[in-house]
Amino acid sequence: MTLRESLSSLLLTGPAALALVLFIFLPVTVVFVLAFTDYQIGASGAGWVGLDNFAQLFGSRLGRNAIFNTLTYVAIVIPASVGLGLLVALGLHGLAGSLPRITNALKAVYFLPVAATLVAMAVSWQMLLHPSLGLVNTWASALGWPAPLWLSDRDLVLYTLAVIGIWQTVGYNMVLFLAGLAAIQPSLYDAAEVDGATGGWSRFWLVTWPMLGPTTLFVLVVTAANAFRVFETVATLTKGGPAFASDTIVYALYREGFVYFKAGYASAITVVFFLALLLLTALQVWVIERRVHYR
Amino acid sequence: MKRLILLGLLALGAVAVLLPFIWMVSVSLKPQSEIFTASVTLLPRAPTLANYWQAVTQTAIPRYLLNGVIVTGGILALQLLVSVPCAYALAHREFRGRGLLFAAILAALLAPFHVTAIPIFLGLAHLGWLNSYTALILPFTATAFGLFLLRQAFARIPAELIDAARVDGLSEMAIAWRIAFPLAMPTVIAFAIFSVTAHWNDLFWPMIATTDPDLATPPRGILFYRDAESGDEPGPLMAGAVLITAPLVLAFLLSQRRFTQGLANTGLKG
């Protein structure tokens, strides 16, 4: 390899490599170090505190609350978003042959929330759920139903945010499931028919569901990873309130780090968040390998 | 009959999905008197564009939209400028450290932006660069995802084609930009859609890196406006939300296939 060629390679790859080090690898290292200090943004020095920040996150009422809320949110969004995504995909897949135009239009509608700006849509949701000016409570009272305070009732707020999260992600899962459905060979259905599976249900359980298995696992992991990062709706609609009832891990990270300037503690939250995501990614890699094996 | 029921259910679900969109547009077209009323209706009775006029002339929403264009455009340009040559070298050149660089890119894929935010904030604060377009754009120069996507696309270009260009005397940088880049255009477009959507919609980093309303990107800006009007002007607020959502929604409706691919194959990375 001549010097000229080496220089040429350096010119091509150098800027990108530098950017990766500067904006990803160095910051990740720093965050792992800061997590063991009591550094405050703006302070001149910092002390080593060992595992104190982690103890605070897992030991304090507030820290545990944020973790518990996030897990609750994830536990609601995953089954609902994946289940609805599958149902919509099955429906659209079944209609695609006879009504291609309508199917395409419906597909676009379901995908719309994925492309739309979530913060602006959250502002619209706020208006929709407004106690006196909103459509939802107007209709509810017209029907004689109770008109709850969707975003300021402590027992309700997390579920309201979960519904918005589901609304936003169903279309994304639908697209993944549609791709999975399109990959199933029609001959499998013929074979199942020969074996006596003629009804819709037996066809589904004998062919569709097992063949979709790898897609389903993949969709589950992706949905979990995205739900885990919930931030925009929290920041827009509740700021974690009322009384921390909708505080989540990424919002807590933002609040502790950039509102209270507790960089050390916020770094510890970041580390926990990162490790949880890495665990999910490991699961995902395992899923993909199984998918390859499956075919 | 069964098909009709299925269609009915799917259409019902679609209406539910559309409700926030319909409501946003509807309120944006309502005169003030129809918003502050005991008899709220789904659709405006006397639609008016007055709210849009107010949003465009009396609020900073046009400024926010302009900021969105500057920031998303700046990020995409920087990302491509840095990533295209590197991805080309990874796909079509032998050099020491190539394996290491590719492994580093795969590792970097694992770190979402939330993880690097605190140290990057500290670094920018140290340099006095917070509250600037630089702070909003520069940290996203490193895109492991873009590097990975482009490398995969460039690797599909036959080596003979690259060799022929070398024989013709093109420099390596010229091959990257004039041969590889145009040939990988579908991937470039998919990445562009992903990048622009992600950063147009992002709230996390703009909330951290800037406090100056003049620098607010669309999502940050609409929150500034909402908090300032504090419930007095829902009409113009909804008009603003429509204006901020419209560019991406229109782009999606015009090229559904590309958009779906760009976001569905890539949506995991933030």
How confident is the model over B88-125, as pLDDT tens digits? Answer: 999 999 898 999 999 999 999 888 899 999 999 999 99
Asked if A279 has any chain B CB less than 8 Å from its own CB, the reply is: no
Residue, of A233 and A187, whose pLDDT is higher? A233
A152 domain residue, yes or no: yes
| C-beta neighbour count of B82 within 10 angstroms | 23
Domain count along chain A: 1
What are the φ/ψ torsions at residue A37 (nearest 5 degrees)?
A: -125, 170
Report the sign of the C-alpha dihedral through residues B56, B15, A205, A94, in that order: negative
**Lookup: tokens for B140:** 């996203």
Q: B57-264 maps to which CATH number?
A: 1.10.3720.10
| Contact assignment for A99 to B21 by CB distance below 8 Å | no
| Contact assignment for A167 to B17 by CB distance below 8 Å | yes
A44 domain residue, yes or no: no
pLDDT of amino acid B110: 87
Asked if A16 has any chain B CB less than 8 Å from its own CB, the reply is: yes
> Residue A91: helix, strand or coil by DSSP?
helix
Domain boundaries, chain B: 1-48, 57-264
Cβ–Cβ < 8 Å for B203, A235: yes
| % of chain A exceeding 70 in pLDDT | 97
| Contact assignment for A116 to B21 by CB distance below 8 Å | yes
Q: Is pLDDT of A294 > 70?
A: no
pLDDT of amino acid A238: 93
Cβ–Cβ < 8 Å for A263, A39: yes
DSSP per residue, chain B: -HHHHHHHHHHHHHHHHHHHHHHHHHHHTS-HHHHSSSS--SS-SS--SHHHHHHHHHSSHHHHHHHHHHHHHHHHHHHHHHHHHHHHHHHH---TTHHHHHHHHHHHTT--HHHHHHHHHHHHHHHT--SSHHHHHGGGS--HHHHHHHHHHHHTS-HHHHHHHHHTT--HHHHIIIIIHHHTHHHHHHHHHHHHHHHHH--HHHHHH---GGG--HHHHHHHHHHHHTTS-HHHHHHHHHHHHHHHHHHHHHSHHHHHHHHHTTTT--
pLDDT in tens, A20-47: 999 999 999 999 999 999 998 888 887 8
For testing contact with chain B, the best of A3, A5, A44, A123 (most B CBs within 10 A): A123
Q: Is pLDDT of A232 > 80?
A: yes
Report the sign of the C-alpha dihedral through residues B72, B78, B84, B86, in that order: negative
Closest C-alpha among A293, A276, A270, A275 to residue A33: A270
CATH of the domain at A126: 1.10.3720.10
Question: Residues of A with CB below 8 A from B268's CB?
Answer: 222, 225-226
Cβ–Cβ < 8 Å for B28, B222: no
Q: How far is residue B270's CA from residue B265's CA, in Å, rounded to a whole number?
A: 13
Q: How far is residue B155's CA from residue A110's CA, in Å, rounded to a whole number?
A: 35
Closest C-alpha among A228, A270, A265 to residue A27: A270
Site of tokens 């080090």: A21
Bridge partners (DSSP) listed for residue A48: A37
| Contact assignment for A12 to B172 by CB distance below 8 Å | yes
Which range among A166-180, A192-206, B98-112, B156-170 shows the weakest confidence by mean pLDDT?
A: A192-206
**Lookup: tokens for A235:** 């920041």
Q: Is pLDDT of A292 > 90?
A: no
Closest C-alpha among A137, A166, A117, A143 to residue B21: A117
**Lookup: tokens for B205:** 């980093």
DSSP per residue, B92-161: H---TTHHHHHHHHHHHTT--HHHHHHHHHHHHHHHT--SSHHHHHGGGS--HHHHHHHHHHHHTS-HHH
Report the sign of the C-alpha dihedral through residues A110, A116, A122, A128, in that order: negative
Average pLDDT over residues A68-91: 94
Bridge partners (DSSP) listed for residue A37: A48
**Lookup: tokens for B60:** 């900073």
Q: Which residues contact B170 (CB under 8 A, 6 or more apart)?
A: B178, B179
Q: How far is residue A158's CA from residue A150's CA, in Å, rounded to a whole number?
A: 9
Cis upstream peptide for B158 (omega within 30°): no
- B221 falls in which pLDDT band (50, 70, 90)? very high
Domain limits at A227?
Answer: 62-248+277-294
Asked if A243 has any chain B CB less than 8 Å from its own CB, the reply is: no
> Residue A147: helix, strand or coil by DSSP?
coil
A219 domain residue, yes or no: yes
- The ipTM assigned to this model is 0.89
Question: Residues of A with CB below 8 A from B11's CB?
Answer: 106
Q: How far is residue A207's CA from residue A201's CA, in Å, rounded to a whole number?
A: 10
A138 domain residue, yes or no: yes
pTM for this prediction:
0.90
Chain A CA closest to residue B235:
A127
Residues of chain A numbered 57-96 and touching chain B (CB < 8 Å): 84, 88, 91-92, 94-95
Q: Is pLDDT of B246 > 80?
A: yes
Q: Largest alpha-carbon pair distance within chain B?
A: 77
A284 domain residue, yes or no: yes
- B37-B39-B44 Cα angle (round to 5): 80
Question: Residues of A with CB below 8 A from B201's CB?
Answer: 117-119, 232
Q: Supply the DSSP symbol for A40.
A: -
| Contact assignment for A108 to B42 by CB distance below 8 Å | no
pLDDT of amino acid A1: 60
A86 domain residue, yes or no: yes
| Contact assignment for B234 to A102 by CB distance below 8 Å | no
| Contact assignment for B105 to A20 by CB distance below 8 Å | yes
Q: How far is residue B27's CA from residue A124's CA, in Å, rounded to a whole number?
A: 9
Cβ–Cβ < 8 Å for B36, A131: no
A46 domain residue, yes or no: no
Q: Quick one: B94 exposed, middle or buried, by C-beta within 10 A (0-12, 13-18, 19+)?
A: exposed
Closest C-alpha among B248, B256, B269 to residue B146: B269
Q: How far is residue A253's CA from residue B206's CA, in Å, rounded to a whole number?
A: 15
A185 domain residue, yes or no: yes
Q: Quick one: A22 exposed, middle or buried, by C-beta within 10 A (0-12, 13-18, 19+)?
A: middle
Chain A CA closest to residue B144:
A20
Which range among A91-105, B71-85, B206-220 shows the weakest confidence by mean pLDDT?
A: A91-105
Chain B CA closest to residue A232:
B203
